[in-house]
Amino acid sequence: MQTLIRNSNKESLWLWEDSVTVDIGTDKIIVSGDSPPKFFITDLNSSTCTLIKDIASPDEWQSHKYIYDGGWKNNHPSDGKTYKYTPAGNPPLPTDTPGWHVVE
């Protein structure tokens, strides 16, 4: 497996099989597999993210749920509050806010 992490906080944003080709450029990322479709990630680039290869996937992986910093860590805040993880929609909607949110 391979994961794309945000450099600023090490959040795992994407997780792909090894057969997927990920080309990280200075203005966008181009992702393609064994066959089309090819897609672009335009809000990340070579200065904002890193591709980590040859890793095992954590149980129940979802974008933003884990940090990869030499190993997998749950990205759950540790401030004593109760949180629930909200995944992004597929496809993501402008109102989707993936991540850990406080349960009121």
Query: Over the stretch 25-64, which tens digit does the pLDDT of each residue have?
Result: 999 999 997 666 688 999 999 999 999 999 999 988 988 8
Residue/partner pairs of 24-30 with CB below 8 Å, 24 or more apart: 24/49, 24/51, 29/4
Whole-number Å distance between alpha carbons of 21 and 80? 40
Contact predicate 21/40, CB 8 Å: no
Residue 12: pLDDT above 90?
A: yes
Please calculate the CA angle 81-70-56 and round it to the nearest 5 degrees.
90
Which amino acid does the sequence have at 65? K
Distance, in Å, from the CA atom of 64 to the CA atom of 76, rounded to the nearest integer, reads 10
**More confident site: 89 or 92:** 89
pLDDT at position 96: 61
Contact 66, 75 (CB under 8 A): yes
Instruction: Specify the pLDDT at position 78.
Output: 77
CA 98 – CA 88 distance, rounded (Å): 5
Mean per-residue pLDDT of the chain: 86
